[in-house]
Amino acid sequence: MAVYTQVSAEAAQMLLDRYDVGRLVSMKGIAEGVENSNYLLETDRARFILTLYENRVDPADLPWFHDLLAHLHQAGSPVPRFIEDRGGHWLQDLASKKACLIEFLPGISVSEPLPEQARAVGAALAKMHVSVTGFEQQKPNRLGIDSWQALFDRCEHSAANKLSAGLSDDIAAELTWLVAQWPNNLPACAVHTDLFPDNVLFKGETLGGLIDFYFACTDFRAYDLAVTHAAWCFSADGSVFNQAISDALIGGYSDIVRLEESEIRLFLVLARGASMRFLLTRLFDWINTPPDAIVTRKDPLAFHRRLQFYRTAAADQLFGRR
């Protein structure tokens, strides 16, 4: 959420000169998305996002992201395209980083979604899962279940317990349970796995854009719905579940994609896994970020509370079959 690499206006203009996009008239570093540096560039013709890839995105994955977004755009999904320069190149070198010029999508991200907005998100996620049909390239989920034990091992357990008494043992037991319960043959496709409210742009109640695909990968489509459910259906601290938002999100999804029985039966396992994924990455960041750092540390317990909700929830109830 900061600009790590400084780019001068002159360097940005030199980059833009390779494209047929007009002349630079305004440039602002923006605090957005995962740990990349982002600039909002305005030319006399349009606006763009200039992204420089920092540590968290592996440049080797960029072609996969490009191809996925091109595929989704062609299929009519509201996703930002990578812009090609006059030579047809969409990947550039800038300030010793890999960099891309990306379509700017207007719209605002809601913090307290209305049910109609949650329904639109569910529908957009389902449409995305339909749209990736025919996109055959695979990319493993680097933050999937196979990574969680190693991530947990890198967190000091005493620090976890300081955050909440017994947390370390609870995570260890949950990881064992998740590995035992995790399915291995649900329908899979290219998925977003990070569709939090700040990655969805609205124009009023109309969904105008899905952004920040840098955690996208190949995984179960029902896991993507589970992540989105965990992201949208609770108060920020995870303590209050919002039934109306949940009904709208799952309803919007189910209107487009009819989940299989096994996906519904295993949904709570996936949702517990989704909660674990964010609990662990937040725990790691919490323990390894100095408290006085400029970056706001996000509370890991907000996802421990979601995990506790999913432990006692009933899938039939979530899917309106109570």
Residues of this chain that interact with a second copy (CB under 8 A) are 1-4, 6, 8-13, 24-32, 40, 42, 106-112, 203, 290, 293-296
Longest dimension (CA), the chain: 61
Q: How would DSSP label each residue in 150-183?
A: HHHHTS-HHHHHHHSTTHHHHHHHHHHHHHHH--
> Which one, 22 or 251, has the nearer CB to a second copy?
22
Q: Residue 2 or residue 314: which is nearer to a second copy going by CB?
A: 2
Residue 276: its H or E element: helix 267-288
**Between residues 6 and 74, which has the closer beta carbon with respect to a second copy?**
6
Q: Considering the complex, what minimum distance in angstroms separates the CB of residue 237 from a second copy?
A: 14
Q: How far apart are CA 217 and CA 138, in angstroms?
A: 7
| CB-nearer residue toward a second copy: 27 or 313 | 27
Among all chains, which residue has been given the structure tokens 């421990």? 304
Closer by beta carbon to a second copy, 202 or else 213: 202
Checking phi first, is residue 76 left (phi over 0); if not, alpha (psi -120 to 50) or beta? left
**Shorter beta-carbon distance to a second copy: residue 32 or 224:** 32
Question: Whole-number minimum distance, CB 30 to a second copy, in Å?
Answer: 5
Contact between residue 78 and residue 124 where contact means Cβ atoms under 8 Å apart: yes
- In whole angstroms, how close is the CB of 93 to a second copy at the nearest point? 19
Q: How far is the CB of 81 from a second copy (least distance, A)?
A: 18
The candidate with the shortest Cα–Cα distance to 155, out of 4, 236, 276, 310, is 276
Tokens of 135: 């996109």
Give the shortest CB-233-to-a second copy separation in angstroms: 17
**Structure tokens, 90:** 């969409």
Cα–Cα separations (whole angstroms), residue 90 to 65, 82, 93, 225, 250: 11, 6, 10, 30, 36
Return the number of the residue (82 or 202) whose C-beta is nearest a second copy. Answer: 202
Rg value, the chain, Cα? 20
The DSSP secondary-structure symbol of 241 reads B
Q: Is the dihedral of CA 256, 262, 267, 273 positive or negative?
A: negative
Residue closer to a second copy, measured from CB, 79 or 217: 79
- Distance of closest approach, residue 75 Cβ to a second copy, in angstroms: 25
Give the shortest CB-295-to-a second copy separation in angstroms.
6
> Rounded to the nearest whole angstrom, what is the least distance from the CB of residue 92 to a second copy in the complex?
19
Q: Taking the alpha carbons of 150, 268, 258, 224 in that order, is the dihedral positive or negative? A: negative
Burial class (CB in 10 A: 0-12, 13-18, 19+), 173: exposed
